[in-house]
Chain A
Amino acid sequence: MADIELVELTKHYRQGKTVVRALDGVSLRIGSGEFVSVVGRSGSGKTTLLDLVGLLLRPTSGKVLVDGQDTTRLKDGQRADLRGQRIGFIFQEYNLLPTLNVLENVLLPLRYTKSTVQDDRGRALELIEAVGLGDRIKHRPDELSGGQQQRVAIARALINRPALVLGDEPTGGVDTQTSQELVGLMRWLNREENVSFVIVTHDLELAGQADRMIRLKDGQVLTDEPVEHAA
């Protein structure tokens, strides 16, 4: 199971003559099965943090450890393999492939990664059923609503039994009710699949449903505390 550790992580960009400190010495640990939300204003470094944890970006300095393994030393291909096997992604824009149907979209990550799943198709159908789209497996994305597309994306993120799912504003493109349903679904899958979720969001209501909330400001951790849930 996932144990993600960020050690003194920095990411600096050069913008003309100035250096932008998108992330500035962040150290965190995300334990197995946690549901963490990351909040902060635009430019606070949320997305950069997500990209670094998702191994899509290389840090300027510091380390990202996955299960104790320092990923900053890995080659691009090894990072891609690790992404494929251990990390799932959910984006605000869903990013489904328009030419593939629901089932094919869910199966997409397995095309590039050595599958650790026994029965690919069975697993995909099970997930599609779990996200409530069992009757839509042959539908193309343009035949689905935004909420349904995001459900497909959630199923896709889980197909390879990842240790960690990263969500970049996963409810940013849907209405409030759909947003609630999606959060409920993610929380349920978080428990059912025992997979960690790290969700970057502007939506404080969503953030408030996490186990733990991290506030970022100017590339640094402002607060990092458990969320109190009403009984």
Chain B
Amino acid sequence: MEIIRNLARRKLRSTLTVLGIVIGIFALTTMGAMAAHFNALLDGGVKYFGSSIQIGPPDGQASILPMSKVDELKRVDGVDAAFPGYGFAAKPGEAATISFGIPDTIVSHDPAEDRYAAIKTTYAQGHDLTATSRGEVVLGSSIANELKKNVGDSIDLPVRPKDAKPDFVNHTFTVVGVLDPTRTAPDNLASISILDAQMLFKESLPVAIRDTIDTTTVAQSIVVFGKPGTSLAELDRIAGRINQQVNGVKATKPSDLVNSFKAGGATFTAITTAAAVLALVIGGLSVVNTMIMAVTERFREIGLKKAVGAHTGHILREYLLEATLIGFLGGAIGYALGVGLTNLLNLAGKSSNLELFLITPTLTVIALGFAVALGALAGVIPAFRAARLDPVTALRTTN
């Protein structure tokens, strides 16, 4: 109680000090939430690309692979399954901006692939596609929310751009499932059957060659899986074998993709650390300053407490607690402001698929823990000064 009243003694000074911590922790929370969002996104990439091998055309060739390669790939030692893949922009013609997430994409999906998926998806509504389903789509949580679709609704895919040319074609699909949020790629995917994807693929080809290609015999890419649980190193070796044994395709080593995702994650972690250091410098120094001034002003009180029986430890504890309280107050306010702002921004960005922030329990613990630790740490020097005061000198100080 006395500690709180002591803070209230110099209201302006205490407020400014708390504000220093508020700014630091606010920065830490918002930057941390942004880093957490990207790390979740990148973790998805690490999981997905760390558990599969991406097969594309050899360097410099167009992205069309004969379907026969699927069977060829399955014969390579260590390959357990291979699926043809197709992908299209869900909203073609949308201005190409630097995106903070994965753009909405229509992808082909074979239910048999679920067995191998590293990112397990669950259904908020409805169910999965079947291997032979036609005209059905499963939407990720973000795209469903953005397009305001629920199970049973109809949706035209790809979404017709405002300035669509007369020959623009799309098809009506029925939403049969909506996924729970994963905070990574599946949130932005509209999954359709391979047969439907082949139809869209055909329509995406230039008119001049459209009728010369049977799209049921080609794929845009192929994804290969080892047995569930195959290690990254083993997948790398399988990729090597594919490149040696199968002509006309190029397998990317999963570890290369994983490393590039991890490098991205490291950048965001560095940003968070920078924000934390900023908080440390600004907030910490202002707490040190305030506490030193408080100790100096209260020399006589400290002397009196020692005269009436306080030990060095008592005084040390009181001043450390006061500094910690400043840290906690600043941390709690800064964190609350950070959560408020990130939620507001996420809400504002929801309709345009621009959710940038993710408040995780770890971030909460870090932000509040950091503020408290910072306060305590900043209080150490002033508290020691107070605790080691000679009572005789302290009692006779004239302020």
**Which of A83, A99, A111 contacts B307 (CB under 8 A)?**
A83
Contact of A112 among B8, B301, B303, B308 (CB under 8 A): B308
- Least CB distance, A216 to chain B, in whole angstroms: 18
Q: For B243, list chain A residues within 8 Å (CB).
A: none
- A89 touching B392, Cβ below 8 Å: no
Please determine whether B304 and A95 come into contact, CB atoms closer than 8 angstroms: yes
Chain A residues with Cβ under 8 A from B309's Cβ?
80-81, 83-85, 109, 112-113
Task: Please classify the interface of chain B as helix (H, G, I), strand (E, B), loop, or mixed, using the class held by over half of its residues.
Answer: helix
Residue from B303, B304, B314 whose CB has the most chain A CB atoms within 10 Å: B304
* A131 → chain B closest CB, angstroms: 17
Residues 1-20 of B at the A interface (beta carbon under 8 Å): 2, 5-6, 8-9
Q: Is the CB of A100 within 8 A of B308?
A: no
Establish whether residues A80 and B311, one from each chain, have CB atoms under 8 Å apart when the complex forms.
yes
Q: Could you say which residues of chain A place their CB within 8 Å of the CB of B314?
A: 111-112
Given contacts A56-B391, A95-B395, A99-B2, contact A89 B300 (CB under 8 A): no
**For this complex, into which size category does the number of interface residues on chain A fall?**
20 to 34
| Complex contacts, A156 vs chain B, CB 8 Å | 308
B interface footprint on A82-104 (CB within 8 Å = 1, 0 otherwise): 01110011010101011110001
Residues of A within 8 Å of B308, CB to CB, are 83-84, 88-89, 108-109, 112-113, 156
Within the complex, what minimum Cβ distance (angstroms) separates A22 from chain B? 11
CB of A219 closer than 8 Å to a CB of B: no
Contact partners of A81 in chain B: CB under 8 A: 309, 311
Whether A91 touches B311, Cβ cut-off 8 Å, given contacts A97-B2, A97-B304, is no
B109: CB under 8 A from chain A? no
Q: Is residue A122 within 8 Å, beta carbon to beta carbon, of the partner chain?
A: no
The docked-state distance in angstroms from the alpha carbon of A89 to that of B311 is 16
- How many of chain B's residues have a CB under 8 angstroms from any CB in A? 21
* Measured CA separation A84–B311 after assembly (Å): 10
Which residues on the A side are within 8 Å of B310 (C-beta)? 80, 84, 111-112
Contact partner, A91, options B6, B312, B395, Cβ 8 Å = B395
Q: Does A67 contact B (CB under 8 A)?
A: no
A51 at interface by CB-CB < 8 Å: yes
Q: In the complex the two chains form, is B5's CB within 8 Å of A99's CB?
A: yes
B306 at the interface (CB under 8 A from A): yes
Instruction: Kindly provide the distance from the CB of B383 to the nearest chain A CB, expressed in whole angstroms.
Output: 16
Q: Please tell me if the beta carbons of A98 and B307 are within 8 angstroms of each other in the complex.
A: no
Interface residues of B in 337-386 (CB under 8 A from A): none
Within 8 A of A (CB), among B279-334: 300-301, 303-312, 314
Q: Which residue of B lies closest to A114 (CB)?
A: B309
Interface residues in chain B, defined as those with a beta carbon under 8 Å from any beta carbon in chain A: 2, 5-6, 8-9, 300-301, 303-312, 314, 391-392, 395
Pairs of residues from A and B, 10 with the lowest C-beta to C-beta distance, nearest first = A84-B309, A99-B5, A109-B308, A113-B309, A112-B310, A112-B309, A95-B304, A56-B391, A89-B307, A56-B392
Known: A84-B310, A112-B309. 14 other contacts (CB 8 A): A56-B306, A56-B391, A57-B392, A76-B312, A77-B312, A80-B309, A88-B308, A89-B307, A97-B2, A108-B308, A111-B314, A112-B305, A113-B309, A156-B308
